[in-house]
Amino acid sequence: MRRIVHLSVGILAGLLVASTAAQAAADISIFGFAPSTSLGTDGRPLAAAIPRETINYSGPYSPGSILVNTSERRLYFVLPDHQAIKYGVGVGRPGFTWAGVSHIANKREWPDWTPPAQMLRRRPDLPRHMAGGIDNPLGARAMYIAGTLYRIHGSNEPDTIGQAVSSGCIRMTNDDVTDLYGRVKVGSTVVVLR
């Protein structure tokens, strides 16, 4: 009789542990995000490690300008009435930081990516060309900075936002870059500070 009771308790405990483990596994997606995370139209989690916000702005740049503070890892889009939208960004890793003033030369939705020759020399394992799409490292949108090899673009690696890991481009979450893309015009001033 005791064996039956112990066996029954053991089976019950095993079922409880198995169902709890199964529920915990179901609560975490393959990307490691809890199921309550908002999902984009592609079914992937929207990352917002650094939420965008509207702030007061009293700087010298006119509305429509983009100011990137690489040491702060923030991008500011200047609005009218002394306001700006502040976004979290990923920036160039050590040795790939830069500063200057330019403008947006071009804009693309779901851009193709062709790594520049300099990058291919450093990383010969990279593809020579990649069609636009969710797996493309440029993400959902790209704004090309005139006179440089750099872009302000989305990312398929949202965990890199707030980090210094790029080859000089300014990375944003796909959600944030889509928001910025809708506000920026070709010809907008871009100021990058170290």
Provide the annotated active-site residues: 153, 169
Residues constituting the chain: 194
Angle at 46 between CA 45 and CA 49, to 5 degrees: 115
Helix (H, G, I), strand (E, B), or coil: what is residue 164? Answer: strand
Question: What number of other Cβ atoms are within 10 A of residue 181's Cβ?
Answer: 20
CA distance linking residue 89 with residue 66, whole number of Å = 13
* Tokens of residue 185, six digits: 């015009």
Closest CA to 138 of 167, 107, 111, 175: 111
CA distance linking residue 149 with residue 177, whole number of Å = 18
Q: Could you tell me if 190 and 70 are in contact, meaning their C-beta atoms sit under 8 angstroms apart? A: no
End-to-end alpha carbon distance in the chain? 76
